[in-house]
Amino acid sequence: MVLALQDILIQYRDRKVLDEISWQIGDGERYGLVGMNGSGKTTLLKVLTNNLVPDKGLVQKSKDCSIGYLPQDIEPIKGMTLYQAAETAFISHNEIESNLRCADLRLQELDPNGEEYRRLLHRIAEWEQQLHHHEHIPARIEKVLLGLGFKREQFSQDVSFFSGGWQTRILMARLLLENPSLLLLDEPTNHLDLTALCWFEDFLKKYTGAYVIVSHDRRFLNNLCEKIAYIDQGQLSIWNGNYEKFEEEMANRIEQQEAAFQSQQKEVQRIQAFIDRFRYKATKAAQVQSRIKMLDKVEKLSVPETQKHVAFGFPPAPDSGTWMINLEKMSHAYGPKQILTSVSLKVERPDRIAIVGANGEGKSTLLRLLAQIESIQQGTYYLGHKVVLSYFSQQQAEHWLENDTVLEAMQKVAPPSMGEGKIRSILGAFLFTKDDAFKPISALSGGERARLKLAAMLLKGSNCLLLDEPTNHLDMIAKDRLQQALLEYQGSLVIVSHDRDFLEPLVNRVWEVKDKQVNVFHGSISYYIQKSQDQFSEKKFPAPTKKTPQKTQKATTKVSLEKTEEQIVAIESQLHQLNIEMQQPDFFANPTSSQKLALYKKLESQLEGLWASLER
């Protein structure tokens, strides 16, 4: 065991964010922590790191446990070079020798057969190994920094010159070099380009410690995680397997819960029908009273809750010419820094293009130039006939004031002819319902701001969408719905993203921005990755075939009335017993649950036939 939580309670006013949850993380275990935005994932990570003290409960960690935490919002590192920042991951030669001296003294006080003695011996071996391999530290630092996308010439650069995304990579590099026994990573892929993401994923595959990853990148979770910790309505549940298996099992469980709920509703109706039919029949008085008591004791199952999700489609794309945008010999620079040199590109009507490349190469710059957010400095820009552009960026400066409400913000960018009802309808599709429409912009989370910007794109039709990292801050469900809407969209699409699963079905061309040029690949994102000599194969399993339940034969009309009534009593007794079992919390975890559900349906069908024979 590396770390354990016991009965952890975190409560804000009347809301229990974490409702007395327990969790044990073992040595080398690989978890994905998932749940809706706002469900408490980041709160849980803060509890694990002791950055947040729970209202109730206990956090226990092994004595030799070291924790590395990468939050979404970091404190910038100051006062050192990039290389020095990475070097702080290693304790000095003198510190190691001091630790070894203290450990030798402590060993003399401990029982050689005890657990603490064993752990201390293990720690001593690690320190001796560090001392022996101290000369290899520069090579390790270089490997990690280069892997995360830094260049050798940046090693001596002061860290204050790096932007927020690169600051996150600096902290990530230091954590990986520290090699803690437990890594806690909150959305680690948000600031990684595709190349760095692939390297980081490969690094974690070989990592010997345990880790917990919060991410909305489905493929990243599938490739790395062996267990899923799912948080919903304050409760934590643990699922074996990667995220894909979790989704399948969760869908099956919801389907089973819905079936159990419907079956119980039918049983209640059946019992009530029996009572109503035989209430005044003397020979059935005892059975009627038994069923009245039975009905009183039934623990009502609730309707399985389904998560709210964004539901929208882009407006129809207006007609246009055959090409949308044509760039000829375009160059662009920021001061002395040249970004693009003599680039010629064309976006045509059916094109669906992904822009990829290392951070800082100019992906977002190229998209802004295509969207005419920035003017090109050299070369020629042609906009096609009847082309209507629509641009999205997380960093886009909207004409919104922080004290504007959500509704007011939308009204400012909506066409004058669009009424409040239509705007409210669009907001509702993005989960801004009822009072949410009157929230001030300042109160919105990152995910809510992203949804609002997407909603604003639906205020007018366009035939060329230009999207810069649209999936950042979106949860899995919202991301899936955006992907579906883009698949249905009939116009052209140019998108900057590092999310491989999101891009895979969407794009048929890839523009790689590299060394001030744009390399064109005709194919999907998988084709591009293969051509770049990064192998990410994906097994596709056929969907399981569903067995069609056989219809039971109708009860024969020759059965006497009394015998039919006895059969009804017997079957209802069986159904009631099965229903009690189905109400148990661990019912669906039992491997026999599916067989019992099938039996339940079979008995239901038989009972319907018996009741029908009574009516004749």
- Supply the DSSP string of 224-256, one letter for each residue: H-SEEEEEETTEEEEEES-HHHHHHHHHHHHHH
Residue 349 pLDDT > 50, yes or no? yes
Helix (H, G, I), strand (E, B) or coil at 272: helix
Where residue 366 falls (left for φ over 0; alpha for ψ -120 to 50; beta otherwise) is alpha
Domain 3-246 and domain 323-531, same fold? Reply is yes
Mean pLDDT across 92-106 = 82
Q: Which of 189, 206, 207, 186 is nearest to 197 (CA)?
A: 189
Predicted confidence (pLDDT) per residue in 264-279, tens digit: 788 888 888 888 888 8
Predicted confidence (pLDDT) per residue in 365-399, tens digit: 999 999 999 999 999 999 999 999 999 887 765 56
**Whole-angstrom Cα distance, residue 479 to residue 471?**
6
Helix (H, G, I), strand (E, B) or coil at 546: coil
Residue 116 pLDDT > 60, yes or no? yes
Q: Across all residues in the chain, what is the average pLDDT?
A: 84
**Whole-angstrom Cα distance, residue 196 to residue 174?**
15
For the whole model, what pTM was predicted?
A: 0.71
Q: Residue 381 in contact with residue 372, Cβ under 8 Å?
A: yes
Helix (H, G, I), strand (E, B) or coil at 303: coil
Structure tokens at 106: 């402590």
Long-range interactions of 573-582: CB distance < 8 A, separation 24+ = 574/603, 575/267, 575/270, 575/600, 575/603, 575/604, 575/607, 576/267, 576/271, 576/294, 578/603, 579/263, 579/264, 579/267, 579/298, 582/260, 582/263, 582/264, 582/301
Confidence of residue 472 (pLDDT cuts 50, 70, 90): confident
Where b means 16+ CB within 10 Å and e means fewer, 105-126 reads eeeeeeeeeeeeeeebeeebee
According to the model, what pLDDT value does residue 276 have?
83
Confidence of residue 546 (pLDDT cuts 50, 70, 90): very low
Structure tokens at 48: 């694990």
Helix (H, G, I), strand (E, B) or coil at 483: helix
Confidence of residue 314 (pLDDT cuts 50, 70, 90): confident
**Whole-angstrom Cα distance, residue 476 to residue 499?**
12
Question: Angle at Cα 610 formed by Cα 607 and Cα 616, nearest 5°?
Answer: 145
According to the model, what pLDDT value does residue 555 have?
37
According to the model, what pLDDT value does residue 456 have?
85
Q: Which CATH superfamily hosts domain 3-246?
A: P-loop containing nucleotide triphosphate hydrolases (3.40.50.300)
The structural domains of the chain, with segments of one domain joined by +, span 3-246, 250-303+547-615, 323-531
**Whole-angstrom Cα distance, residue 539 to residue 541?**
6
Amino acid of residue 361: E
**Rounded to a whole number, what is the largest CA-CA distance in the chain?**
100
Radius of gyration of the chain from Cα atoms? 31
Residue 55 pLDDT > 50, yes or no? yes
Structure tokens at 203: 């690094």
**Is 599 exposed, middle or buried, given 0-12, 13-18 or 19+ CB atoms closer than 10 A?**
middle
**Is 616 exposed, middle or buried, given 0-12, 13-18 or 19+ CB atoms closer than 10 A?**
exposed
**Whole-angstrom Cα distance, residue 470 to residue 497?**
8
Distances, alpha carbon 244 to alpha carbons 23, 255, 396, 513, 538, in Å: 22, 17, 33, 32, 12
Directed axis angle between helix 194-205 and helix 137-147, to 10°? 130
Mean pLDDT across 463-492 = 88
Q: Chain-centre distance of CA 503, in angstroms? A: 16
Amino acid of residue 572: E
Tokens 């680690």 correspond to what residue? 188
Confidence of residue 540 (pLDDT cuts 50, 70, 90): very low
Predicted confidence (pLDDT) per residue in 355-373, tens digit: 999 888 899 999 999 999 9
According to the model, what pLDDT value does residue 133 have?
65
As assigned by CATH, the class of the 323-531 domain is alpha beta
**Whole-angstrom Cα distance, residue 591 to residue 577?**
18
Mean pLDDT across 488-517 = 94
Amino acid of residue 56: K
Signed CA dihedral, 107, 109, 113, 119: sign only: negative
Distances, alpha carbon 224 to alpha carbons 25, 207, 474, in Å: 16, 10, 21
Confidence of residue 280 (pLDDT cuts 50, 70, 90): confident
